[in-house]
């Protein structure tokens, strides 16, 4: 393991806004579940999650844009989380935090209806059928999100994958959920250029755009 990665892991441990529970802690139910606002943010503002946050581009951007809301980036990769966590420390953003956690255990980290919105930004589309249960918009995951989200909580999906966009739209119809916005190509179809969907680009989005891929966006109510 490289020295830079070890240094980042060490920094994560000293950041008060980075939570890295042990597997045993997660499986028995995280003690923070239901108490994120009280123990981490020290307020009662709405909480938004960014799942598979990577370097936390959306978590940080949303925290800057909406100081009256709280944001938590979730990812299993500690070295990626470090980048967002470092920015939060440098900018003294009190409304952003990070959780290192496998997303399949997300329901063990939060209490029912503790979350107001969820962002899923450029997840692996898991195109092969045998990997379908790992799609972050698979019905099993949607059930978990619905448990955590408040009534009419929003789920946002931004992706370069036509397959994942179409799959998720079909799933929404099957489950009887309500679509808020749906764009197959945000550059051609989405007029609100000030929206976070346009103004924030993740590391992966920049890569996909450089290859000429269209970026799609879908939001729906749980």
Q: What is the pLDDT of residues 87-102, one digit of tens each?
A: 999 999 999 999 999 9
Residue 20 structural domain: 3-221
* Active centre residues (catalytic): 124
Q: What is the pLDDT of residues 31-84, one digit of tens each?
A: 999 999 999 999 999 999 999 999 999 999 999 999 999 999 999 999 899 999
Q: What is the pLDDT of residues 100-127, one digit of tens each?
A: 999 999 999 999 999 999 999 999 999 9
What is the predicted pLDDT for the residue at 193? 87
Taking alpha carbons only, the member of 190, 129, 123 closest to residue 161 is 123
pTM of the predicted model, to two decimals? 0.94
What is the predicted pLDDT for the residue at 2? 64
What is the predicted pLDDT for the residue at 194? 87
CATH number at residue 129: 3.40.50.150
Q: Considering the chain, what is the average pLDDT of its residues? A: 94
Model confidence band, residue 196 (pLDDT cutoffs 50, 70, 90) = confident
Strand positions, DSSP E, the chain: 18-19, 47-51, 70-75, 96-100, 115-121, 149-159, 178-183, 216-221
Averaged pLDDT for residues 183-211: 91
- At residue 173, φ and ψ (nearest 5 deg) are -65, -45
Compute the distance between CA of residue 18 and CA of residue 182 in angstroms, rounded to an integer: 33
What is the predicted pLDDT for the residue at 131? 93
103 DSSP assignment: G
Q: What is the DSSP string of 11-53?
A: HHHH-TTEE---HHHHHT--TTTT-HIIIIISS---EEEEET-
**3-class DSSP assignment, residue 82:** helix
Taking the C-alpha atoms of 102, 108, 109 and 111 in order, what is their torsion angle to the nearest 10 degrees? 150
Quote the number of domains for the chain. Answer: 1
What is the predicted pLDDT for the residue at 1? 55
């Amino acid at each position: 393991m490289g020295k830079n990665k070890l240094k980042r892991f060490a920094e994560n441990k000293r950041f008060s806004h980075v939570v890295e529970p042990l597997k045993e802690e997660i499986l028995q139910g995280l003690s923070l579940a239901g108490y994120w606002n009280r123990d981490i943010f020290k307020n009662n503002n709405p909480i938004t999650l960014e799942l598979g946050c990577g370097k936390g581009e959306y978590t940080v951007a949303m925290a800057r844009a909406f100081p009256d809301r709280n944001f938590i980036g979730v990812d299993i990769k500690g070295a990626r989380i470090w980048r967002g966590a470092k920015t939060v420390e440098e900018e003294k953003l009190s409304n952003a935090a990070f959780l290192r956690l496998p997303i399949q255990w997300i329901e063990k980290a939060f209490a029912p209806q503790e979350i107001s919105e969820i962002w899923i930004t450029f997840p692996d589309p898991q195109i092969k059928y045998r990997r379908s249960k790992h799609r972050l918009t698979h019905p099993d995951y949607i059930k978990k999100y619905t448990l955590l989200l408040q009534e009419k909580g929003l789920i946002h999906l931004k992706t370069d994958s036509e397959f994942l966009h179409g799959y998720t739209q079909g799933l929404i119809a099957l489950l009887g959920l309500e679509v808020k916005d749906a764009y197959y190509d945000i550059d051609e179809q989405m007029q609100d250029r000030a929206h976070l969907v346009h103004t924030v680009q993740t590391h992966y989005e920049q890569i996909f755009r450089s290859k000429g891929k269209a970026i799609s966006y879908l939001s729906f109510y749980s």
